[in-house]
Structure 1
């Protein structure tokens, strides 16, 4: 250690024996949206404009980017709760003036506050304290026949509803707590859990974004969160899916598989991400890691599903049965075609209980074609695509070809889109279009005779939404084949979410560029 005497003061200064580490608090690779994104730059003008050229960034101890993102998410989740709060209003409309839900005048559609959570509380017999999948009931079909029904959701979503019901009933049983209708308390309990799940989604997306952490602001402040954050239980699945992507990016394939498997037990879509992982691992020669993730996903899914399947097989199978017999939903491309052309569908007129065999086969074939196209792109691209890019293409392709696109399913795309195509204005435009579909949807359900809108007003907006998603897919494919245009790959970055795939050499590829490079190296 070197010592030096400093002039007259006599103070000794200790010099470091090695060269100090570089200060990275203002690393030039850091993404500063206020200086790189025109929309963010305009918004920054409200609070004084972007940071100066020589400003030191990254020294805030409390208001870190992640905490700002989570706070922003809380604000938009609060907007989402207020958007649904109109449907838990109470009124003395019961026998003897008892309080009940005030859905008079079709409030759920006029106020556009509809949430599946509220009617399912009674429809799934949760108000009776029934355990999902064990409890059955009879439903009268349109033709007068009766059918035995059970809880229609995957196991983890059904158990979440049951747990929320137990908490709501416990709350109401404590006299000194503020009281309300049990269904209103149940909605709020569900909403708290879903809000936490969406915060996990924001956190996992922000961590997956790496140096572009501010891209996750579009997840936190998405218009779709306001409209659909509490429409159904899909935030549970997005949390598991985003967590699975993050775990894979941290080179923890087993944990990634467990999270994707749990997500598949809540909604099936997180399991779709195993497909892109398989193709990417095949190209990079990392099938061992993919096998670990796939086996862990299967094990996690079985651990959740097997007890219910063994104890209540009929109730467990209800989700699969219902999805096989249901026809084209109003917001599917097949119903859109019928709406404008009068087409009766692949199966013609169906009666209650009839299975749309041809429709099921067509949707399966079209989705298989999408998966084949994505696999072709993954194997032929000059540079191996990023996981988020292929994941977005597969999930978007599933929604576009499926016979069901429930409005809240659009939440599935939000984290993947942000990681796959971090162009803020483009993503916000799509999310706004998608969120606005909710308005004609509600007034279409209201009915023309009740001052609603014709079906074509609703299906027309669905067409615009589908075209917007298809446009995003085209942009993702373009950037896969032109990686220089990919904002994520700047500064020599390969795939922040690739995990073992990040910077791994290609072992198998049909790309002529890759084969030529391999020959040159040989």
Structure 2
């Protein structure tokens, strides 16, 4: 499908044309650091980080789990991070290289290093989106200028999985199936949703007659998983499955539409929520397959991926603010326009403020955001993500995607 804006290279070549876009990647990183300034100064303890909108699970978990012990401590099982194994290993490694001793100094070190890694990751993601997306450099701007990135980059280490997932989609679009499988397989061990993208790739391969390449995709994915999983199975198998076990036993989390019953005092059980979330995955995969196989022309991989991931997010057991980062490159790869992006970003910003006011007020009812108002912000955000999926579907099925 031809891009309506074929601006992939300028007079100075692809690298020179991309340089301004790469420089813009510093803006969301700097905005994230500015937002973290009060906590970088005073720490992340108590309720004050909620009121100052600088709470960071990345910083807090570094202290509460003893991640400063480093990778060796994590391999011994002494660092109970609740991330998938590849992400936990990276966070432990970064924390272990820090100054040690003073917990606040270690937290500052981790966030500083993560800010640098985020800059590199955003540049990579922007390059891949520019190369594989339908709008070239304009699509890359959706990544490097994303308001959601500025809000979420330093809240958690989710960006590792997002980077690997985007690289996998780029590799598939550039006909490197083994590399696509390896990146998506590694992404699955960093953040679970890239496993869904492997399904999207498989269905697209069936639609486009590239079924034979799936053998190399599978080989790449299995190799990447084995490189991480086999050593862990030999050393400490629980490290491989810990995050998924915690997910299965968890109740509805903040941001999830299923948290609304909790707000009304009638929370659903973990078993029911797990069943609903699994059903959501089935529905998401089914809708993705229907989109790919039923569209008049082959849809963009980003559009199909956005539909699948968005449905999983809005039907999942939890939908923390940082999970919205998953959607940033998919919005660009789907070819959506800035008006849709900004509508979604506004809903995310309203929810971002609301969730911290709600949490901060749990210890002080006089300052609390009422549960009803938090529910409004939560549902508005869920509706905005659903709207992105609708727009991606319309883009994929439209005879003239330039009008979408």
TM-score if structure 2 supplies the norm length? 0.91
Cα distance in 2, alignment partners of residues 211 and 404 from structure 1: 32
Would the aligned equivalents of 1:133 and 1:314 in 2 still touch at CA under 8 Å?
A: no
Would the aligned equivalents of 2:44 and 2:59 in 1 still touch at CA under 8 Å?
A: no
Which residue of the partner structure matches residue 235 of structure 1?
A: 159
Residue 135 of structure 1 aligns to a residue whose secondary structure is: coil
- CA shift, 1:272, in A, is 1.1
The one of 279, 291, 311 aligned to 1:397: 311
Larger radius of gyration: 1
The one of 105, 110, 120 aligned to 2:61: 120
The one of 295, 299, 319 aligned to 1:385: 299
Residue 189 of structure 2 aligns to a residue whose secondary structure is: helix
Cα distance in 2, alignment partners of residues 271 and 135 from structure 1: 25
Give runs of aligned pairs for residues 481-496 of structure 1, distance below 5 A: 481-486=397-402
Would the aligned equivalents of 1:218 and 1:418 in 2 still touch at CA under 8 Å?
A: yes
The one of 8, 30, 51 aligned to 1:110: 51
Which residue of the partner structure matches residue 30 of structure 2?
A: 78
Which residue of the partner structure matches residue 478 of structure 1?
A: 394
Residue 112 of structure 1 aligns to a residue whose secondary structure is: coil
1:439 is the counterpart of 2:363? no
Cα distance in 2, alignment partners of residues 450 and 305 from structure 1: 49
- Number of aligned residue pairs: give it: 398
- CA shift, 1:198, in A, is 2.4
- CA shift, 1:367, in A, is 2.0
Which residue of the partner structure matches residue 66 of structure 1?
A: 18
1:161 is the counterpart of 2:112? no
- CA shift, 1:212, in A, is 2.7
Which residue of the partner structure matches residue 451 of structure 1?
A: 367
Greater share of helix residues, 1 or 2?
2
Give runs of aligned pairs for residues 251-330 of structure 1, distance below 5 A: 251-330=175-254
Which residue of the partner structure matches residue 186 of structure 1?
A: 110
Which residue of the partner structure matches residue 250 of structure 1?
A: 174
Give runs of aligned pairs for residues 76-225 of structure 1, distance below 5 A: 76-90=28-42, 101=43, 103=45, 106-129=47-70, 131-136=73-78, 150-169=80-99, 181-209=105-133, 212-225=136-149
Residue 453 of structure 1 aligns to a residue whose secondary structure is: coil
Which residue of the partner structure matches residue 462 of structure 1?
A: 378
- CA shift, 1:370, in A, is 2.4
Would the aligned equivalents of 1:133 and 1:316 in 2 still touch at CA under 8 Å?
A: no
The Cα offsets for residues 262-317 of structure 1, whole Å up to 9 and x where unpaired, read as 11111111121111111121223321112211221122012112211221123333
The Cα offsets for residues 396-426 of structure 1, whole Å up to 9 and x where unpaired, read as 1110111111211101111111111331121
- CA shift, 1:191, in A, is 2.5
Larger mean CA deviation between 258-267 and 121-130 belongs to 121-130
Distance 1:61 1:114, change over 3 A: same
The Cα offsets for residues 449-486 of structure 1, whole Å up to 9 and x where unpaired, read as 25121222222111111111112212222232223134
Would the aligned equivalents of 1:255 and 1:293 in 2 still touch at CA under 8 Å?
A: yes
Cα distance in 2, alignment partners of residues 60 and 282 from structure 1: 38
The one of 326, 339, 349 aligned to 1:412: 326
Distance 1:442 1:60, change over 3 A: same
Residue 136 of structure 2 aligns to a residue whose secondary structure is: helix
The Cα offsets for residues 349-397 of structure 1, whole Å up to 9 and x where unpaired, read as xxxxxxx222211221232022112212322222122211111111111
Cα distance in 1, alignment partners of residues 285 and 373 from structure 2: 32
Give the gaps of 5 or more residues in structure 2. Answer: none
Would the aligned equivalents of 1:109 and 1:442 in 2 still touch at CA under 8 Å?
A: yes
Distance 1:30 1:323, change over 3 A: closer
The Cα offsets for residues 189-240 of structure 1, whole Å up to 9 and x where unpaired, read as 2322233222222222122226632221121011111110111001111111
Cα distance in 2, alignment partners of residues 190 and 420 from structure 1: 27
TM-score if structure 1 supplies the norm length? 0.71
Cα distance in 2, alignment partners of residues 135 and 30 from structure 1: 51
Cα distance in 2, alignment partners of residues 342 and 107 from structure 1: 26
Would the aligned equivalents of 2:75 and 2:236 in 1 still touch at CA under 8 Å?
A: yes
| CA-atom RMSD in angstroms | 2.6
Would the aligned equivalents of 1:152 and 1:318 in 2 still touch at CA under 8 Å?
A: yes
Cα distance in 2, alignment partners of residues 30 and 373 from structure 1: 28
